[in-house]
Structure 1
């Protein structure tokens, strides 16, 4: 019994011990996390306690280090907070209050300048604290390591994109908006110059600026801020793009497609000479109206930045707007095939450039316009050399024409009419001063002196060569009568078309009278050797006192009328292809023929016509009436309709109304021209 009781007691004791163990295990399970937490906090507690273990002098000194570092760091943080406070006004639309926005941008620049100057200093002070803590074992090494990593990250951020991101890119966004506003102000206020039919004829009357003063002031304010932030190149690019596009639009309204004609599309100046006159007017308009205005505007807008900047902008605007195309067109003319018309066109080009000489020097004289200067210099040189070359070769080309046959119809050779009018133009008020200036310049390049007689002697020699050509050509006619008609027409052409002209004045009155007399002389020879021979065929010999009766008289009249008709028909047929170009001379020559024949024929038919008119074959002998002969004779020497149509004048400006054939013949005389 006692043993059982002991077992029960032991069982009870064990049960109690088991319950206690479970309770203890549960308690230990709850205490475990707390112990782990305490374990984790021990390093920081150790670090916190570390200063207590440090030397007293080190603890005292650390306070000064902390004070020196915290001040700059706090100031930096304060400014950084202020920067982000500017974000809202900076990202607003600049056009609402430009001056206020520019003021905010300036404040941001100042804040960033402060941050840029002081962030590095604050980081250095913080590095000093860390170094002090490490050297004096005041802080835990892990804590020191974390501080060093943080400072390294600060240095990296500070150096990122050369400190440009201290504001997180806020300034860049604000500057982008200012650039957009700059473009908007320029675009909305740049209007192409309106073109009217009288625009090119107007004298240049330029306003102080193509843009309102208020807009220029806004542009200057924007440029000031953008330039302060190294965005001048971007501003210049925007300005040049907008303004050059505006100038180009103004020029396009003039119709300048001809400036793009490639040299391969034409062989000579005649194919584009109509454009050369336009070229001079368009170039003058572009320089005096458009480029002059852009020059002044560039000065106004960029004046506070510097002359090199605004002159550089103007140079780019001029190039992009098309000044180079004008100069290249002029060069294309100088490179074309040489001919006399080209000389006049080259002189026109020189006159246009010379008229704009001072404008070119002022507008394009700076180093920024070197390309324009070089092209202009090359063009002037090519114009002068080309003009002189053609002028001095004119005599040779006239002499080469001597080898060609004269006109088959005996008219004035087109070379003669061309040269007389051409030389008159060279001596006229329009071209003589220009040609003289060109010759003076060209001779000065060769260290030679120009004398006025060189020009006049050259012209006189050309006229003498034409006269010698006429002598040579007259000998080429097999029909002597035609050569007389040829001489008559050409001498009259000289007299009539040179009298009262510059060339006529140079040749002199005696020279003109001589040609008038030659005209009369050859007219008399022509009449004597042609129509003047026919009246003798209507002789009355044997008809007044004829003894053979009426039948004999009739036979004699028939014979003489037949001879007259045959001679008249032959001569008329031959001369119906001859031409006298001058209307007055043609009428006078026809009248001389009429006076030589018709009165004699009328009288003859009145007296002896009845002898054959009753004959069955009367129509064979009384072939013409006096009126018919007069009508036929007065219709001679007319230029045929086909020939007239093929000789259409090329010019309507009253300067040189020569025909294509004349110029083509003159130009084809040599491969040189």
Structure 2
């Protein structure tokens, strides 16, 4: 075949490939491959090199089309007036952008041709200017829409305004104060929210539709990220202002750690309120808005949502993290429990909102900080254990009353057990294995981790009290001290959730301990005095000897009884029932023995005539003196009030 004939044949092949594959590059490649297999002269390299040698008339058509588009687009790009102020202008501009995007897409596969490439450079430049103007219009629509649909206005128009976080009357009062110059930058304080079934339409529906149309063109034109950035910057400001209006401050971890505890308690309350509103109202509303603006572009919607919410979410999580890694002083337990429970209850919201590739790290961070809060709670109980261990033994109260460490620990545990369900979860996840607890009996091995923890703290408290009791030189006072504190422990256990945790066997065991202390008190205090009332007459003593012995015994009794009553009237038993039980038990052993002794004493002729001279107390007098015992008339009775 002649060279001219071969050239004609190749031209036909190029024409066929171009015609059939005009709108589909994959089809063109397939056609070239078929030709190449048929004849080596039709190789893909030979044909493709020449396909791009476009007809000059075609380039002229492209050039003409671009000039037309340039006139249409420049008319709006150079305008100082908002395009979306007129719906007809907005429609015309979007049509021109659509045509430009289509032209670029249609001719991009011929970019290897120099003349086409030159036209495409012009087209890309036009497209960039169009996108910049769309970006400006997008921003303006966002800002104008936000001004007309601010948060408080959206809430006030809602049917459930009584349950919303911003109170209109309060806002009006604050506005009045600001106008009067009393407070220029006063931020309204949000009210408690009880109903979170609210969705905020932060932008008018028409604005959302306009934004969607712009976003669709910007994504198609390759400016999706720029569109997302503009969107997120506007909505991010809205969220930050919303959290500010809820009273939440932007605090660093260092700021939180330096904050006085009372101030931190108030900040935690604001954090709880803001977190619930953010995760249950604000973020879901932002998710809904993103999905509407970027409908059909899930990746852009996900990215925009993450960009909008990331800063506010990090602010909320950083505060919780600062609380978690802060001081583990026992008095902080209850507020940290509040933070733990709040974050735990919001995990499902984190999981549903932050589940895409862009925001999943926020969900994971929330779970990590929640677990860190659990570890902090466990650490607080460890610090409570250390506090009990460190409380010095010499700190025993002077009159055998209720020790402050007993009141503190028992009231602390009772209050903690009100959050039993949460603490059960914490100790199951973060508690020590049972083998790590000394003196855990078989009964506790079938109990929950929290039960074991409570039992171990009670063991530490009892050991501490036993060490304190040994400071008393009088053994009887030692047992009064143990009775007082043991009785308080049992009472605080019985009528609380703590009793359900420790069980009936524990309560019975410690009730028996109190009885044992009672018996030991009587033995160490009254047995010797009651021994003076025993009359031993085996017939060896003469009548004068009997009289003399009984006088000495009565004298010794009176001295011993007076001494006990004088001393033990200063001792203190905080519980009236326990005080009465001790008094009655003394009467049961003392009054019969004293009555018998006096009767024997008066039956001796040498004594009976002058009995009043020796008998200092009648039976009623004994009862009166016993009633004065354990009233705590001296010492630190003021601190022994029951609580």
- The TM-score with structure 2 as length reference comes to 0.60
Q: Any gaps of 5 or more consecutive residues in structure 2?
A: 1-54, 108-114, 156-163, 168-189, 435-444, 534-551, 599-609, 611-620
Corresponding position: 1:224 with 2:186? no
Q: Among 176, 190, 195, which residue is 2:165 paired with? A: 195
1:483 CA drift (Å): 0.7
Aligned-partner Cα distance in 2 for 1:67–1:308:
41
1-side partners of 2:94 and 2:491: how far apart?
83
Find 2:344's aligned residue among 332, 338, 354. Answer: 354
Q: Residue 482 of structure 1 corresponds to which residue in structure 2?
A: 477
Give the number of aligned pairs. 507
Q: Which residue of 2 aligns with 1:379?
A: 369
Q: Which residue of 2 aligns with 1:367?
A: 357
Q: Which residues in structure 2 correspond to 1:441-480 (within 5 Å)?
A: 452=447, 454-480=449-475
Which residue does 2:234 correspond to in 1?
242
**Match of 1:416, SS?**
helix
2:584 paired with 1:582: no
CA 1:244–1:598: 2 relative to 1, 3 Å: farther
**Pick aligned residue for 1:207 from 190, 194, 199:** 199
Instruction: Indicate the residue corresponding to 2:404 in structure 1.
Output: 414
In structure 2, the CA distance between the partners of 1:642 and 1:80, relative to structure 1 (3 Å rule), is: same
* 1:494-533 equivalence runs, <5 A: 494-505=489-500, 507-523=502-518, 526=521
Match of 1:365, SS state, is coil
Q: How far apart in 1 are the matches of 2:126 and 2:478? A: 96
Partner SS, residue 464 of structure 1: helix
Match in the other structure for 2:258: 265
2:429 to 426, 432, 438: 438
- Superposed, 1:234-313 pairs within 5 Å as 234-257=226-249, 262-265=255-258, 272-273=264-265, 275-276=267-268, 279-304=271-296, 306-313=297-304
- Structure with the greater alpha carbon radius of gyration: 1
Q: Following the alignment from structure 2 to structure 1, what is the Cα–Cα distance between the partners of residues 433 and 204? A: 47
Whole-Å separation in 2 of the counterparts to 1:454 and 1:427: 16
Offset at 1:533? 8.5
Provide the residue aligned with 2:126 in structure 1: 164
The whole-number CA distance in structure 2 between the counterparts of 1:79 and 1:511 is: 89
Partner of residue 105, structure 1: 93
Following the alignment from structure 1 to structure 2, what is the Cα–Cα distance between the partners of residues 506 and 78? 83
Instruction: Tell me whether 1:316 sits opposite 2:310 in the alignment.
Output: no
Native 8 Å contact 2:424 2:449 kept in 1? no
Q: Which runs of 5+ in 1 are unaligned?
A: 1-64, 120-126, 128-154, 444-449, 539-555, 605-610, 612-624, 650-673
Cα pair 2:145 2:207 within 8 Å, conserved: yes
Which residue pairs with 1:25 in the alignment? none
More relative contact order, 1 or 2 (CA 8 Å, 6+ apart): 1
Alpha-carbon offset, residue 95 of structure 1: 4.8
Name which of 114, 130, 143 aligns with 1:183. 143
Would you say the 8 A contact 2:480–2:521 is kept in 1? yes
Matches of 1:475 and 1:78, distance apart in 2: 103
Within 2, Cα distance between the matches of 1:437 and 1:478?
44
How far did residue 94 of structure 1 move?
A: 3.8
> 1:487 touches 1:522 (CA, 8 Å); kept in 2?
yes
Q: CA deviation at 1:440?
A: 8.1
The residue aligned with 1:35 is: none
CA shift in 2, pair 1:214/1:519, >3 Å: same
**CA distance in structure 1 between the aligned counterparts of 2:146 and 2:408, rounded to whole angstroms:** 55
Match in the other structure for 2:324? 334
Partner SS for 2:399: coil
Instruction: State the shift of 1:89 in Å.
Output: 11
Whether 1:492 aligns to 2:462 is: no
Q: Matches of 2:65 and 2:635 in 1, distance apart?
A: 105
Residue 172 of structure 2 aligns with which residue? none
Q: 1:566 to 1:170 in 2, by over 3 A?
A: closer
Partner residue of 1:23?
A: none
CA shift digits 1:582-630 (9 cap, x unpaired): 3544566678899999999xxx9xxxxxx9xxxxxxxxxxxxx999979
Question: In 2, distance between residues paired with 1:329 and 1:171?
Answer: 39
For the residues of structure 2 that align with 1:390 and 1:66, how far apart are their CA atoms? Answer: 82
Deviation string 1:505-537 (CA, Å, 9 cap, x unpaired) is: 454445434443443454465467669999999
* Of 272-281 and 308-317, the range deviating more from structure 2: 272-281
Separation in 1 of the partners of 2:556 and 2:132?
115
